[in-house]
Amino acid sequence: MRSHRHLIALGIASLPLYLAMTALSRQFNWGGGYSDRPILAYLAVYAVLFVFYALASKTVVQKPDSSSALWAIVILGLLFRAVILPANQIQEDDVYRYLWDGKVFAHGINPYKYAPDETNDYLDFKIKDAKGFMARYTQQERQELELLNSLKWENQAALTTLERVNHSDVPTIYPPMAQFIFKGVALLKPDSILALRLTFLMFDLAVLFFIVQILGTLGKNKNLCLIYFWSPLVIKETYNSTHLDILGIAFLCAAIHFLILRRHALANLLLAFSVLVKFYPVILLPFFLERAAQKNKISQKPVWTTPLLLLLMFGTVVALCYLPFLNTGFKTFAGLKAFSLHWQSNDSLFSLLVYFFGDVLNLRAVSQTFFSSDLPTLLSKATVAVILSGVIGYLLFWKSFLQKSNKQLLFYFFILMGLVFLLSPVQNPWYLSWVVPFMCLFPWRSWVLLTGLVGLYYLDFYFDYQDIPEYSRWIPWFEYTPFYLYFVYELWKYRGQENQVPQTIQS
């Protein structure tokens, strides 16, 4: 333990900063005082937290494995979470959609069926345009809207939940597994952010457990779990912003654990559950199937029999989970469609693609003349799909097909999940949380740096509230340029050393 005094000191020094973050959160009041919100003070606290975290990460990379240090990492990480658990959300409100979806589902109504505005506007529409109201909705739908409207007025917490749902004109986008978890929370304690955060804590601890198990299986230093468990990004976005990504991350880490143990049916089932929280990890499915094919080859069985069965199982699980919601037809996917077509936020590479197609090739004018949709954006999304497909094909078929070690395989997962984030048209900070568990295995300093830099995302709110939005366009440059420069340097540094990457990056 003496050799880890530096680590413990950094953890103890971080604790007052999480207390400060909780104290600052009290000044983020809903519906007013936006220009007075202490966003710069919050960013200063986050920056110092990140410095302590980076130093702690460097310490665990350089020090040998230690069970006493591991316990210190866990205890201090839990204290960080306990301190921030009661905080107000800092600039985020997705949690209200989760609470509303869960309550709607808990009362037997399909959460994909109605946009929250339909509940909000229910009485006005019914009174002002009775004939239109009767024509638009069936008797069952009118009864459901009546119930939802009554839920809105149950108490102040219920009213707050519905009034604070963002993008309330759009039905929910969150997949079925998220809805089942939201429903479970609503049945226990409706309209409770704290109940949702405590549920997230269980999944968060599952992530820690499986990261430690994976590190042990690969013969790596278990103390590297600190890179996840002390991450200010993960703690802020899970317990303050209360974003659901931790649910999918937990299922993904469990899937990877069982994959490297060659328990393929369970691994693929858990991967399906992860995809049913957020769709990102579906990009890893071909590698899960390929690993099953490798096992068959070693056992001298038909190579593709098991992978085909696993693919069928994966599709069946996804279909069965969607089945209870398909009574609304394609409306089940209306929110997802709106998100996929129109959302673009805090992006880096994607915005450069849009600039290339729209301004360099001047396709925006062509789009306005001949197309109803934004052609540069569509071409950018097509380019992203081609890049990701090309990388998957390269890693799957040209890089030792059916001969990948566990370390190689997980390094490819790291590459793919990182690319999904970097190429996405929406690069919200909490989306980066999906990459953080892989950083425990491959602690590249550029990616650790990025978890700090993405905090600058919140500057956009500050510039907006201070009525200087012209500065917002520069935020992504400060967020991503240092990362890309450092990342390119690390790629150059480790070129030609792929098989040694997991060891080399610790030296």
Give the whole-angstrom CA distance, residue 352 versus residue 363: 14
Instruction: Tell me the DSSP string of 353-404.
Output: HHHIIIIIS-HHHHHHHH-SS-HHHHHHHHHHHHHHHHHHHIIIIIS-TT--
Q: What is the DSSP letter of 327?
A: G
Name residue 426's beta-bridge partners: 345
- Any idea where the domains of the chain sit in the sequence? 2-90+195-324+381-504
pTM given for the model = 0.94
Give pLDDT, residue 496.
58
How distant is the alpha carbon of residue 452 from its chain centre? 16
Burial class (CB in 10 A: 0-12, 13-18, 19+), 40: exposed
* CA count, 13 A, side-chain hemisphere, 56: 32
Distance, CA of 38 to CA of 5 (rounded, Å): 33
User: What is the pLDDT at residue 261?
Assistant: 95
Average pLDDT of each block of 10 consecutive residues along the chain (507 residues)?
80 97 93 88 98 96 89 97 95 95 96 90 76 81 90 91 91 95 97 97 98 96 97 97 97 97 96 96 95 84 90 97 90 83 88 89 65 78 95 85 83 96 95 97 96 96 93 94 96 66 39
Predicted pLDDT at 482: 97
Q: What is the pLDDT of residue 63?
A: 86
What pLDDT is attached to residue 75? 97
Would you say 420 and 280 are in contact if contact means Cβ atoms under 8 Å apart? Answer: yes
Q: Could you tell me which of 209, 211, 219, 267 has the C-alpha nearest to residue 502?
A: 219
How far apart are the C-alpha atoms of 492 and 507, rounded to whole Å?
16
What is the pLDDT at residue 505?
Answer: 37
Query: What pLDDT shows up at residue 413?
Result: 96
Alpha carbon 149 to its chain's center: 31
Query: Cα(121)–Cα(136) distance, rounded to whole angstroms?
Result: 13
